[in-house]
Amino acid sequence: MKDDEIMRCPYCKSENTKVIDSRETKDGKVRRKRKCLDCGKNFTTYELFEQRLFRLDELEEKVRKIEDIVKHW
């Protein structure tokens, strides 16, 4: 879920929800059991986290750019 997305109850569309249980699934997702605090219904969400791997040379280049910016600031 992105930072600007709000978890809403699929039944009443309320934003007032609570995570009851979180578990990682075999395929790397996170299953969250949630409860709507307004209508009282339970629902489940599955979240997949995106990981970005950088090659070492990409990181070194980014560090050099930051160092150049700091030198000239």
Domain ranges within the chain, ordered by starting residue:
17-71
Cβ 43 vs Cβ 34: under 8 Å: yes
What integer pLDDT is reported at residue 3 of this predicted model?
Answer: 44
10 Å Cβ neighbour count for 58? 10
| pLDDT tens readout for residues 13-66 | 999 999 999 998 888 889 999 999 999 999 999 988 766 666 777 778 888 888
What integer pLDDT is reported at residue 5 of this predicted model?
Answer: 65
What integer pLDDT is reported at residue 32 of this predicted model?
Answer: 94
What integer pLDDT is reported at residue 4 of this predicted model?
Answer: 47
What integer pLDDT is reported at residue 50 of this predicted model?
Answer: 66
